Amino acid sequence: MSAKVDIEFTVNGAVRQVSVPADMSALDMLRDQLDLKGAKEACGEGECGACTIIVDDASVCSCLMYAADCDGRTIETIEGVQTVDGLDPIQQAFVDQGAVQCGYCTPGMVMQAKHMLAKNPNPTEGDIQRGLEGNVCRCTGYRKIFDAVAEAARS
């Protein structure tokens, strides 16, 4: 067994304290210790983006981040995107455009789109495609996903 590390960080606006094995990934910590099951594991190698979360204003693959490295950071997951008023405009655009098929890639797509639009509020079609190049949709529903992100940018 690896040494345990006590960490404290902010996730979706709430301060959390957990004790994690030193070799655990942030993804496993979020899913198994905090019961935040929105971020998904698909490839486990950083190629697919299904586990994308936002850490201190940068999107990362949580499967490759050490849970212990969350200490002191501010983290946003798909569970924190919805507001009391309802869906985030990006989520709403995914619904409106029919951009969700099996749904497995959707949390990662929404988080990466959120990060991209925060950096570049007026993306071109090319910017959207490049921004999402680290996210795979195995249903291959990219057209509607790109349209949803474009709609979210307009709204």
Partner 1 sequence: MSNIENYLAPSSIEDAAAALAAGPATIVAGGTDLMLQTGSGQKTYAPTLINIQKITEMRGISKDGDTIRIGALTTITDLLTDAIIAEHLPVLATMADKFASDQIRNASSIGGNICNASPAGDSIVPMLMYKAEVVLVASTGTRKVPLNEFFTGPGKSVIQENELLIGVDIAVPPAGFKGGFGKFGPRPALEIAMASVSVGGVVKDGVISDVRVAFGAVAPTPIRSAETEVALEGKKLDEETISAAGEVASSSVNPITDVRASDWYRRHLIRVMTEEILNDVS
Q: Residue 136 in contact with residue 105, Cβ under 8 Å?
A: yes
Q: Residue 71 in contact with residue 7, Cβ under 8 Å?
A: yes
To 5 degrees, how large is the angle CA 63–CA 30–CA 104?
65
Q: Which two tokens stand for residue 98?
A: 């029919």
Interface residues with partner 1 (CB under 8 A)? 2-3, 5, 21-23, 25, 44-47, 49, 52, 58-61, 63-66, 68-69, 71-72, 112, 115-116, 130-131, 133-135
Interface residues with ligand FAD (CB under 6 A)? 45-47, 64
3-state helix, strand, coil in the chain (%, to 5): 35, 20, 45
Contact partner at residue 58 from partner 1, ligand FAD, none, CB < 5 to 8 Å by partner kind = partner 1
Cβ proximity to partner 1: between 93 and 132 the closer is 132
Q: Residue 16 in contact with residue 8, Cβ under 8 Å?
A: yes
Minimum distance of partner 1 from residue 86's CB (angstroms): 27
Contact partner at residue 91 from ligand FAD, partner 1, none, CB < 5 to 8 Å by partner kind = none
Beta-bridge partner residues of 18: 7
Minimum distance of ligand FAD from residue 64's CB (angstroms): 6
Contact partner at residue 106 from ligand FAD, partner 1, none, CB < 5 to 8 Å by partner kind = none
